[in-house]
Amino acid sequence: MAKKKTKEVVTKSDTQRELPLTVDDGFASIEDGKIVDYITGKQVKESGKETVRQRIARAIFHEYGFSPDDMEPDFPVKVNGRRKKIDIAIFRTGSEHEEENLHRVVICKPEPKQGKKGAFKLRDHEQATKDLDELKDFMEAIESCQWGLWTNGMEFFFVKKEQGRFEADFKPMGDWPLADESMGTKEVHSHAKLRRADPELLRITFRRCHNFIHGNEGMSKDAAFWQFLYLIFAKMHDERQTNGDRRFWVAPNERFDEAGQAAIRKRFMPLFKATVEEFKGDKYGNIFRGNEEITLSDRALAFMVSELAKYSFSRTDTDAKGAAYQEIVGDTLRGDRGQFFTPSNAVKLMVEMLAPKEDERVIDPACGTGGFLRATLAFLIDEFHKETGTDPDKESTEEFNTHQKRLKAFAKKYLFGADFDPSLVRASQMNVVMACNQMANIYHMNSLEFPDGNLSGVEYMKKKAKLGSMDVVMTNPPFGADIPVTDPNILKHFDLAYKWERVENGGFRRTETRHGSVAPEILFIERCLQWLRPGGRMGIVLPNGILGNPGDEYIRWWVLRHAYILASVDLPVEGFIVEANVNISTSLVFLKKKTDDQISAEELSGRKDYPVFMAVPEKVGYDRRGNTLYERSPEGVEVLRETASEERVRVGGEWVLRTLKRKERVIDDHLPLVADEYRKFRGSHPEPGR
């Protein structure tokens, strides 16, 4: 069926209209080997090139503000006497899809494979001459076409055509204008409009930046990551400036010559120095020590600033920033002390089930790269929007600033984290800053040693985060019998470091004999409960052995004595295989700390039964190889659901809201369903101990 457009226009105000754009091709499922075209809504054959084209088409709508009505895939034109097809043709707003109205062209190629070292060298415009010739041929053949883009999903080459007296001149550009032609003024590029990043494009931007300095500058992954982190931190610091003195910007073609690259460095270095000065020292967990240096070449620095400068990180969705950041931090900072990073959907599930409040103190005592802390901030900003009845895509500047002020206040006062690895402390703090542009209370220390220890964060945490002071604890502790805790000065502070013997009533009694070594996850159960106030709640990732091994029964008895079991969610093994390359069966266990009176009462009269929520989700959205899984019908056919996207775009000199409805495949992930079911369960069964 042909694309259907509604003719109805509903007036919203003098400068804002809503134009719903709908597609109904009459199908609710999709054939194997097919995907849904974002522009037409029709099924097309899936391929490497098509995947890139769909990603770019989506970004053209979400980031640049072009309506799919003004795009057409595979548009035929005559080039050098031959008929060729443009992968994505973009026409002037509201015009007929005729060659004389064609304003921009996009050429798409399959994404290149990574090199042996996990990176490949990104080319500049001169090195990609052969590929760009194809793009220039299209632009030269179409008189009205002014802008072009060639991309393979990782490399992006923007070109602007300037028509001379005898021939066209093609200039390399760092980006192309939004639909309203906005790229800032020639005089003040620092005032150019920043835009919210499309999640997929932001992920690719982060990969491109990290890949450029790893593959083009010859840096190790680790060194490349920290250079990237320094730039992100400076970018966030720049966005905090309220006096208009922005320095993290690049003029349209500034990065392509030595003079422009030098000018970018001249602007950036004072900004970087100011960033380091503000955040150096123990007060902020040694994020900066004061001796950090930018070791990038002028060319690499210009590339990265150009890539990042166009986005408003403050306005971009918290989950989108977190996913993009985790993509590069995971491979770079995996440790050898039992650290493996929690799958993002499992992190989100834990936070949603714990549902931290704005006035509750939250800590992750083994915070790693800060996934739980960032997800807490994302959860709270969603709660703010629900509370005020605002849509994050439509909120006013005043509403946005109010929500951000609340989020920053929470991070500064109530959000805590700690890790034994100083690199992870810095990475975690960066994750929080990206989420809300505010430092949290994240410190370098051994949480099992606390309140003892001589690492830099101990004294700060003793003042701000004493044991027994937290409302919510959430963590994925280091696992493994091969990294045991053996220090007697640590073990002596934990009940679970001692041997236990069974008594006549079926319970257990602690002996005076200590184990010589204990797996860290066992001690973390006790430490997390110690950090909670009575009535506080916690979520922890645990290996299933603790929950079922006969030899660990004393651990389960101890936990039941000190806490109520709120819920247990058995995680599919695929999550950690793909995210952390660890083949281990785990569960999310949720506990509520009992008061001393409750413990005493149960010792006298026995424990009372109460309902416990349990779930065994089977799918996490991908298989063991990391291939995305989509929901299928009983007949085995992939099913589709309708989604709606809404963006403000410029049409005829005024801003309009466009709503785009499309049918998309549904990722087969059961974890969001678990969160929904838990909320229903709590509606019928209040938490025990009330």
Contact residues for 330 (Cβ-Cβ < 8 A; gap 6+): 341, 369, 579, 580
Note the pLDDT of residue 23: 40
| Least confidently predicted of 471-475, 503-507, 558-562, 668-672 | 503-507
How far apart CA 111 and CA 30 sit, in angstroms, is 24
Exposed/middle/buried for 688, CB within 10 Å: 0-12, 13-18, 19+? middle
Contact residues for 501 (Cβ-Cβ < 8 A; gap 6+): 508, 509, 511
- In this predicted model, what pLDDT tens digit does every residue of 36-72 receive, in sequence order? 899 998 899 999 999 999 999 988 988 888 888 899 9
> Is residue 556 pLDDT above 90, yes or no?
yes
Q: How far is CA 511 from CA 41, 502, 503, 515, in A?
A: 68, 10, 11, 11
CA–chain centroid gap for 412, Å, is 21
Q: Which residue has the tokens 């005032």?
A: 191
Quickly state the pLDDT bin for 350 (edges 50, 70, 90). very high
Across 2-8, average pLDDT: 31
> Is residue 341 pLDDT above 90, yes or no?
no
Across 532-550, average pLDDT: 95
Nearest Cα neighbor of 311 from 208, 185, 201 is 201
**What are the phi and psi torsion angles at 650 (to 5°)?**
-100, 120
- In this predicted model, what pLDDT tens digit does every residue of 174-192 receive, in sequence order? 888 888 665 443 344 554 5
> Is residue 394 pLDDT above 50, yes or no?
yes
- In this predicted model, what pLDDT tens digit does every residue of 107-163 receive, in sequence order? 999 998 876 555 678 888 888 999 999 999 999 999 999 999 999 999 999 999 998
Nearest Cα neighbor of 43 from 53, 59, 32 is 32
On the question of a cis peptide bond just before residue 451, with omega within 30 degrees of 0, the verdict is yes
The helix/strand/coil state of 142 is: coil
How far apart CA 678 and CA 680 sit, in angstroms, is 5
Q: Which fold has domain 336-624+672-684?
A: Rossmann fold (3.40.50)
Q: How far is CA 656 from CA 32, 399, 526, 647, in A?
A: 37, 20, 55, 8
Note the pLDDT of residue 87: 97
**What are the phi and psi torsion angles at 91 (to 5°)?**
-105, 160
210 compared with 339, residue with greater pLDDT: 210
352 compared with 344, residue with greater pLDDT: 352
Q: How far is CA 29 from CA 22, 620, 635, 641, in A?
A: 18, 21, 11, 9
Note the pLDDT of residue 318: 87
What percentage of the chain has pLDDT greater than the value 70?
A: 88
Average pLDDT over the chain, rounded to whole? 86
**DSSP 8-state symbol, 581:** S
- Residue 41's identity, in one-letter code, is G
Across 495-517, average pLDDT: 94
According to DSSP, the β-strands at 415-419 and 638-651 are unpaired
> Cα 432–436–442 angle (5° rounding)?
30
Note the pLDDT of residue 278: 81
Note the pLDDT of residue 648: 60
> Is residue 16 pLDDT above 50, yes or no?
no
Q: Which residue has the tokens 């309140």?
A: 451
**DSSP 8-state symbol, 599:** H
Q: How far is CA 594 from CA 43, 350, 598, 687, in A?
A: 56, 20, 6, 12
Quickly state the pLDDT bin for 596 (edges 50, 70, 90). very high
Task: Please answer whether residues 671 and 572 qualify as being in contact, where contact means their C-beta atoms are separated by less than 8 angstroms.
Answer: no
Nearest Cα neighbor of 621 from 666, 586, 568 is 666
Contact residues for 404 (Cβ-Cβ < 8 A; gap 6+): 314, 436, 437
How far apart CA 636 and CA 630 sit, in angstroms, is 10
| Most confident by average pLDDT, 170-184, 213-227, 242-256, 602-616 | 602-616
- In this predicted model, what pLDDT tens digit does every residue of 481-498 receive, in sequence order? 778 999 999 999 999 999
**Domain edges within the chain:** 10-182+630-666, 201-309, 336-624+672-684
- Residue 344's identity, in one-letter code, is S
Across 457-461, average pLDDT: 92
- Residue 228's identity, in one-letter code, is F
**DSSP 8-state symbol, 70:** G
> Is residue 282 pLDDT above 70, yes or no?
no
According to DSSP, the β-strands at 415-419 and 362-364 are parallel
Note the pLDDT of residue 24: 42
Nearest Cα neighbor of 31 from 637, 668, 655 is 637
**What are the phi and psi torsion angles at 38 (to 5°)?**
-65, -30
Across 348-372, average pLDDT: 96
The helix/strand/coil state of 21 is: strand
Note the pLDDT of residue 397: 84
**What are the phi and psi torsion angles at 280 (to 5°)?**
-85, 160
> Is residue 5 pLDDT above 50, yes or no?
no
Measured N-to-C along each axis, helices 199-211 and 48-62 cross at an angle, to the nearest 10 degrees, of 110
Contact residues for 297 (Cβ-Cβ < 8 A; gap 6+): 217
- Residue 313's identity, in one-letter code, is F
> Is residue 643 pLDDT above 90, yes or no?
no
> Is residue 7 pLDDT above 50, yes or no?
no
How far apart CA 581 and CA 183 sit, in angstroms, is 43
Across 279-291, average pLDDT: 70
Q: Which two tokens stand for residue 523?
A: 């001690």
Contact residues for 534 (Cβ-Cβ < 8 A; gap 6+): 593, 594, 595, 596
**What are the phi and psi torsion angles at 460 (to 5°)?**
-65, -45
Task: Please answer whether residues 445 and 418 qualify as being in contact, where contact means their C-beta atoms are separated by less than 8 angstroms.
Answer: yes
The helix/strand/coil state of 411 is: helix
338 compared with 63, residue with greater pLDDT: 63
Please give the full DSSP string across 149-175, using - where no structure is assigned.
Answer: EEESSS-EEEEEEEE-SSSEEEEEES-
How far apart CA 469 and CA 534 sit, in angstroms, is 9
Q: Which two tokens stand for residue 616?
A: 């065994």
Q: Which residues pair with 10 in a beta bridge?
A: 18
